[in-house]
Amino acid sequence: MTAITVDAAVRPRRSFQEVWVISLGHALTHWYPGTFYLLLPLIGKELGLSYSEIGSVLSCQYFAGAIANIPGGIFVDSVGRKGLLMAASLFWIGFPYLIMGFTHSYWMILCCATLVGIGNNLWHPSAIPWLANRFPQRKGLVMSIHGMGGNIGDAVAPLVVGALLAVLNWRNVVVINVLPGVLLATFTLLYLGRKQSAEPDEVSLESGAISGMERLRMFGALLKNRALLTLAAGSAFRTMTQGALLTFLPLYLGREMGYSPLWIGACMFALQAGGFIAAPIAGHLSDKIGRRQIIVSSMSMSAVIILLMIFAGGTGWFVMFVSVLGFFLFAVRAVLQAWLLDATPPAMGGTAIGLLFASQAFGQAVGPVSAGIVADHYGLMAAFYFLAGTIVIANLLIFVTPAGLIKRN
C-alpha cells in the first residue's frame, strides 16, 4: 500500500490522550441509544402506545439519522470546528431525552427521536476525520480504539440503566441520564478547543477557506471516486451481513437449538467480544501491512466460518463458530473507515464518512428483511447462506478497490 506523503516538517508524535477523550465521547453516543431500548417499553406502556407506534419511534430515529449522514458530513467539512461540533453532538443527543422525561405526547416523543437520530450522526463525520488528520500514520489503530468506545457504551448502558430502573421510574432515570452528556459535552468543548488553539489543524483551516461552489465541485468529484464508491458499497454489504446476523442468530439459537434468553444473550456477547478483542489488532496491523490485506482476509474468514456454522447445524460447534465469527466480522469496521479516509481529500473527510455511514444504514435496513424473505421461503438455515453470499460480495468489492492513497501537499 502506498504511504501517505506528509508535510516536509515531520509531525510531532502526539499524545494518545485526545484519542481516549474522543473515544469516551463515542461511548456516550452509543450509551443513549443503548438505554433507550430499555426505556421504550416503559414509555410505551405509560403512554398506551401500540406496537406499531413503539416501533415507529425507533424507525423515525434511524430514518432521520440515515438522511442526516451526508448533509451532516458536508456541514462538518464546511464549519471545520470539529471540537465544537463533537460537543454539540453530545449535547444534541442527550437533551431530547430530557424533554422526553417531561412529555406525555407520542408526537413529541417522535420529534425527540428524530433529533437524537440527527445529533448522533453528527458525531462520526466530526470525530473520525479529526482522529485521522491528527494521527495519519496510526489511522487504523485510532479508528479501532474509537470504535471500541462505542462497543463499551453499547455493553455498559443497559446494565447501568437496568439497575437504576430497579429503584427509580423511567422519567427520573431519563433526567439522571442526561447529566453525563452535559458534563462530557462541556469537557469535550474545553479540552478539544484548547487542543485546537494550541495545535491548529491545517485541514480545518483549509476546509474553512473553501467556497460553497468549490465544495459542491469537490462533492461531485467525491461521487466519482472509485475507491470511495467501492468501499462504501462493500461496507454496505458487510453491514447487510451484520444486520441480518444480529436479527436471525438469536432466532436460530432460540427456536432451533432451544436456548434460554440467558444463553442467547451469552452467545451474542461472545459474538461482540470477539470483535472487541480483534479491533485494535486489525487496526494496528492495517497501519503496518496495509488495509486491503486485513479486510480481505477477515471477510474471507467470515464467509468460511458462516459456512462452517451451516454445516455444524444445531451442535455445540455452531456456538463456538459464533464467537470466532465475531473476531473477523467486527474487526474490519475501523479499517474500512481508515481506508476510506486514505482515499479521500482531507478537506472532504466529514463528507466521505457521511457517505460511508449512509451506505451502511442502507445495508442495515435491507439486510434483515432480505434474509427474512429467504428464510420464509427456504427455512431459517437458508438465511445463513444469504449471509455467506453477502459477505462474499462485500469481499469482491473490496478486492477491486484501488489501493492508491490521496497525497497531502
- pLDDT tens string 245-267: 877 888 788 878 887 767 777 77
State whether 244 and 385 are in the same domain.
Answer: yes
- In Å, the largest CA–CA distance within the chain is 64
State whether 49 and 24 are in the same domain.
Answer: yes
Q: pLDDT tens across 321-353, in order? A: 877 887 787 778 888 888 888 877 777 777 888
Answer for the pair 88, 313: CB distance below 8 angstroms, yes or no: no
Secondary structure letter of residue 167 according to DSSP: T
Query: Of residues 140 and 199, which shows the higher confidence score?
Result: 140
State whether 188 and 66 are in the same domain.
Answer: yes
Query: Of residues 31 and 202, which shows the higher confidence score?
Result: 31
**Does the pLDDT value for residue 408 go beyond 70?**
no
The parent domain of residue 328 ranges over: 224-399
Whole-number Å distance between alpha carbons of 367 and 190: 41
Answer for the pair 229, 221: CB distance below 8 angstroms, yes or no: no
State whether 78 and 190 are in the same domain.
Answer: yes
State whether 136 and 167 are in the same domain.
Answer: yes
Asked whether the CA dihedral 386, 390, 391, 396 is positive or negative, the reply is positive
In a domain, 237, yes or no: yes
Q: What is the pLDDT of residue 59?
A: 72
Q: Cell 451532516 belongs to which residue?
A: 72
State whether 231 and 202 are in the same domain.
Answer: no
State whether 88 and 146 are in the same domain.
Answer: yes
Q: What is the pLDDT of residue 209?
A: 56
Query: Of residues 393 and 191, which shows the higher confidence score?
Result: 393
**Does the pLDDT value for residue 397 go beyond 50?**
yes
Beta strands in 35-172 (DSSP E): none
Mean pLDDT to the nearest integer, 33-38: 74
State whether 170 and 57 are in the same domain.
Answer: yes
Question: What CATH number is associated with residue 100?
Answer: 1.20.1250.20
In a domain, 1, yes or no: no
Mean pLDDT to the nearest integer, 108-130: 83
Q: pLDDT tens across 175-193, in order? A: 888 888 788 888 887 877 7
**Does the pLDDT value for residue 1 go beyond 50?**
no
State whether 148 and 258 are in the same domain.
Answer: no
In a domain, 407, yes or no: no
In a domain, 290, yes or no: yes
Q: Cell 429503584 belongs to which residue?
A: 167
Mean pLDDT to the nearest integer, 132-148: 82
Asked whether the CA dihedral 40, 43, 45, 47 is positive or negative, the reply is negative
| Total residues belonging to the chain | 409
**Does the pLDDT value for residue 78 go beyond 50?**
yes
Least Cα distance to 179 among 85, 101, 82, 65 occurs for: 101
Answer for the pair 375, 382: CB distance below 8 angstroms, yes or no: yes
Least Cα distance to 145 among 276, 289, 302, 336 occurs for: 276
Question: Among 152, 184, 209, where does a domain finish?
Answer: 209
Q: What is the pLDDT of residue 3?
A: 41
State whether 203 and 229 are in the same domain.
Answer: no
Q: What is the pLDDT of residue 4?
A: 41
Least Cα distance to 332 among 362, 301, 311 occurs for: 301
Question: Among 209, 241, 263, where does a domain finish?
Answer: 209
Count the domains in the chain: 2
Q: pLDDT tens across 191-217, in order? A: 777 766 656 555 555 555 565 677 777
Whole-number Å distance between alpha carbons of 390 and 318: 20
Half-sphere exposure of 18 (CA within 13 A, CB side): 23
Compute CA 64 distance to the chain's CA centroid, rounded to the nearest angstrom.
15
Q: Is the pTM of this model over 0.85?
A: no
State whether 302 and 198 are in the same domain.
Answer: no
Q: Cell 406502556 belongs to which residue?
A: 45
State whether 228 and 202 are in the same domain.
Answer: no
Whole-number Å distance between alpha carbons of 355 and 232: 7
